[in-house]
Structure 1
Amino acid sequence: MSEVVYSGVKFTKMKKSDQRGDKGHGSQPEPGITVEDVTYAEVRFGRVGEKHQQEPATERVPVSFQDTKSQRTEDGHRNLQLALLIISILVLVIIITVSLLFALNSSGDRNTEEVCEDCEPGWEYLSGKCYFFSTDTHTWDESQKLCVSMKAHLAIIDNEEEQNALMLEVKNKMSDDEHKFWIGLTDKEHEGTWLWADNTSLVKSFWLNIQPDDWKGLNDEYPDGEDCVRMGERNYMGGSFTGWVDTACNRNFRRICEKDSCNITNDA
């Protein structure tokens, strides 16, 4: 049996004011009894022991909250797409820039290498530079000035490849044991502090045997010692022309002048 609901049921309640009495169901109240009407908006009847089943409550989400959450999700997707687009553009720009720089450098290296292999008449291309081997002789200071007048300087040797190339050329040009050549190395400013003609410090050296020794001469003919360096001294132990020798700067020798081979292009 289903539950029965009555709505708007009115019950009459009697209240005895000073004496108790009961005339039976449906009789008029006796004097002294107050009558009160009680109305119930809803009365439910059901079987004894029957459980009342309530409808499950439905969770309602405010419409405004759902709209805000959806809007935030859409905004997040748009921001992510925009960030990925910007990153892709930046990566593409970097790749294009690096490619262009690499192409320009490669082209520049090829052009420089082709042009710079040419040297002026009387100069020889060796180990990436132009060299002038003189036949006249002068002191170290005079030789440096003559090189400067030719827009060059006494040879500065930075590595073994350059040293070997110059020594081979010196060997071919020495028709006499005294045909030695000045290079741009000296310690005349401070004894033992070797500097090149451009005032850069000596890093890698190619001294012959026990050199440098700052020799004063057999009869003290070199009172200032030996402060300038030459090439072309025979290595009496190996029978070659390898190595540097320090000697007095006022002695007269040939010279090796050096300049960048690209000077031809720059001068033009």
Structure 2
Amino acid sequence: LQLKMNEGRLTYDKPQPTQKKREYPWRISVVILGTVCLCLLISSIVFGYLFFQGTSKFKIQCEKDANKNAVSSKEVVDPSALPPTTGKGCYKCQGRWFCCGEKCYYFSEEEKTWDESEASCRLLGSHLAKIDNREEQNFIQSRLNYSYWVGLRKKGGQFLWVHQEDEKISSDLDFHMTTHLADAACGYIKPKLLNNAQCSRLFPYICKKNFTCLLTSENW
């Protein structure tokens, strides 16, 4: 107690309880900041792991695709090493070959002259495609978006299939001969018809060979 004299009277002041100093919330801030940092660290580890897994799977798939392409190239060059087909269905083969029964077709992407196209087919152990009948013509045309060279060429005033033995065009083929161009001596096929053009024009081409090829699980 604190005694005071005030105009002859004795008074006293009751001491006030001392106030505790207010603590700053720095401890709470530290806890929150630590929690956030821990969450960020865990997130970084998780994302890093997922990224590593994704790149590893992509690399493995690329290696598989590269090996598959290497095998496909060997199969195209050496068709005798391939297993026989089963059934009469049409299938997508490995590489750029497509088979229907024992007939296999190669649809090129590059554009060449007729002679260059025939030379490229020979490098693949085949020739520019010879179309035997209307059914085969319809089958090929159903898979076309552009014009493609085939093994048709003008000889002695008439168009013949010239890949092995000169053979006349089957009468049931839908062949529309262009007559206004004297040098339109080579045949090509497009989605709607079989036609002729100058041999120096640039078209992709279709090779054909009667051999069996390795089937994939993907049917046409």
* TM-score normalized with structure 1 length: 0.43
Pair 127,243 (structure 1): closer, same or farther in 2 beyond 3 Å: farther
Please say if residues 85 and 213 of structure 2, whose CA atoms lie closer than 8 Å, have aligned partners that are also in contact: no
Equivalent runs, 1:176-255 vs 2, <5 Å = 179-187=146-154, 189-205=155-171, 206-208=173-175, 211-216=176-181, 224-232=182-190, 241-255=191-205
RMSD: 2.6
Indicate the SS of the match to 1:254.
Answer: coil
Deviation at 1:115, TM superposition (A): 8.9
Please say if residues 159 and 169 of structure 2, whose CA atoms lie closer than 8 Å, have aligned partners that are also in contact: no
Cα distance in 1 for residues equivalent to 2:125 and 2:104 = 11
- The residue that corresponds to 2:9 in the other structure is none
Bigger RCO (CA 8 Å, 6+ sep): 2
Query: Percent identity between the aligned chains?
Result: 26
Cα distance in 2 for residues equivalent to 1:262 and 1:128 = 6
Deviation at 1:112, TM superposition (A): 4.6
| Aligned residue-pair number | 129
Indicate the SS of the match to 2:118.
Answer: helix
Cα distance in 2 for residues equivalent to 1:114 and 1:252 = 37
Please say if residues 130 and 161 of structure 2, whose CA atoms lie closer than 8 Å, have aligned partners that are also in contact: no
Unaligned runs of 5+ in 2: 1-82, 215-220
Cα distance in 1 for residues equivalent to 2:161 and 2:104 = 21
Pair 127,113 (structure 1): closer, same or farther in 2 beyond 3 Å: closer
Which amino acid counterpart does residue 159 of structure 1 have in structure 2?
A: N
Pair 136,129 (structure 1): closer, same or farther in 2 beyond 3 Å: same
Pair 122,195 (structure 1): closer, same or farther in 2 beyond 3 Å: closer
Q: Point out the structure with max Rg over C-alpha.
A: 1
Please say if residues 112 and 262 of structure 1, whose CA atoms lie closer than 8 Å, have aligned partners that are also in contact: yes
Once the two structures are superposed, what CA deviation does each residue of 1:81-133 show, in whole Å capped at 9, x if it has no partner?
xxxxxxxxxxxxxxxxxxxxxxxxxxxxxx95429968442211135311111
* TM-score normalized with structure 2 length: 0.52
- The residue that corresponds to 2:138 in the other structure is 164
- The residue that corresponds to 2:72 in the other structure is none
Unaligned runs of 5+ in 1: 1-110, 217-223, 233-240
Pair 126,247 (structure 1): closer, same or farther in 2 beyond 3 Å: same
